């Protein structure tokens, strides 16, 4: 698989990132796979040349990080053979300071993540969401100290407003702190609000874009139907996904499915190929609970859409309220 630069950094990542949220504790997430179930996915990813893996401390309350660390050590000979990303922000317990982006929580969370992952550093340490209760100066200085301590090579951010991202970057550069090199945002064929401000900002500033939910929580792959139909375990246990999309989005879903049929590929492949056609996008983060999900993502990297096909996919889009920031 092709390796690409993450923004303007020298870091090379595969153009598909395997999202590890799907692997953890089924008692917490009914659709999640345990370590044994996750094993074939990491093995296949490694075989296909995927070198970029993304998790978070909050996924299955740490279980995802534990599984991720064990399986990456199993299928990669050297630590430098893969790029490991995790995130901080989510509440890990009822303790008052065990969540958010305070200095106290960040410095404790990185140590806990490294312990679960079984490594002495992560390549990309990301803030999972904006923390309105903590001054961004406190957060950015703490993240800089994580990098200076050698516990993270780079830092990244996730869904927020463009003004918030700009403020954080400005403060980092003004104070000589480490700036963000990536943005993990909510972006796919049925949610394109990021094209208004965030994507142009990232393109201008050389920030890598690694979208989450590139298949709209499976909507673009067919896990839901009109009228509230739910076709998979994930779709039946995903109230957050239900809040992101509406019946209006099925016009885009249908257009994508029709094109996929004409091209002789799956809807997941055309939806991912559309994302990869955008020069602002570095690597979509793809979740997989069936091996076909992973095969579709791998195949999408070899699928090229022409301008008319891209226009056809984009034509039915309707504007959305901003979502994915919470």
Could you give the CA distance from residue 17 to residue 15 in angstroms, rounded to a whole number? 7
Could you give the CA distance from residue 84 to residue 72 in angstroms, rounded to a whole number? 9
Could you give the CA distance from residue 151 to residue 231 in angstroms, rounded to a whole number? 42
In this structure, the dihedral spanned by the alpha carbons of residues 215, 20, 157 and 201, taken in order and rounded to 10 degrees, is -30
59 is a catalytic site residue: yes
Sign of CA dihedral 33, 228, 245, 316: positive
Which helix (H) or strand (E) covers residue 53, if one does?
strand 52-54
Could you give the CA distance from residue 180 to residue 100 in angstroms, rounded to a whole number? 18
Tell me which of 59, 125, 187, 191 is the catalytic residue.
Answer: 59
Contact between 90 and 131 (Cβ < 8 Å): no
Catalytic residues: 59
């Amino acid at each position: 698989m092709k390796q690409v630069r993450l923004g303007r950094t020298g870091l090379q990542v595969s153009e598909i990132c395997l999202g590890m949220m799907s692997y953890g504790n089924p008692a917490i997430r009914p659709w999640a796979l345990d370590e044994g179930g996750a094993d074939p996915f990491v093995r296949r990813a490694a075989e296909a040349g995927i070198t970029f893996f993304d998790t978070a401390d909050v996924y299955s309350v740490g279980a995802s990080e534990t599984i991720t660390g064990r399986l990456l050590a199993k299928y990669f000979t050297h630590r430098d053979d893969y790029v490991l990303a995790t995130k901080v922000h989510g509440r890990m317990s009822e303790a008052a300071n065990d969540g958010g982006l305070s200095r106290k929580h960040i410095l404790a969370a990185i140590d806990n993540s490294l312990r679960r992952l079984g490594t002495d550093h992560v390549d990309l340490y990301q803030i999972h969401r904006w923390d309105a209760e903590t001054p961004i100066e406190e957060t950015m200085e703490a993240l800089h100290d994580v990098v200076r301590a050698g516990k993270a090579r780079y830092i990244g951010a996730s869904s927020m407003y463009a003004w918030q991202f700009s403020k954080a970057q400005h403060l980092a550069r003004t104070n000589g702190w480490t700036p963000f090199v990536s943005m993990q945002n909510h972006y796919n064929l049925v949610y394109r609000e990021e094209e208004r401000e965030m994507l142009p900002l990232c393109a201008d500033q050389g920030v890598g874009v690694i979208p989450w939910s590139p298949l709209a929580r499976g909507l673009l792959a067919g896990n839901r139907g009109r009228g509230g139909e739910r076709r998979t375990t994930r779709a039946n246990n995903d109230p957050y996904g239900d809040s992101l999309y509406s019946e209006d989005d099925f016009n885009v879903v249908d257009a994508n499915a029709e094109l996929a049929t004409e091209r002789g590929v799956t809807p997941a492949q055309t939806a991912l190929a559309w994302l990869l056609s955008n020069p602002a996008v570095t690597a979509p983060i793809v979740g997989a609970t069936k091996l076909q999900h992973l095969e579709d993502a791998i195949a999408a990297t070899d699928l090229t859409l022409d301008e008319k096909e891209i226009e056809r996919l984009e034509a039915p889009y309707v504007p959305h309220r901003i979502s994915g920031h919470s």
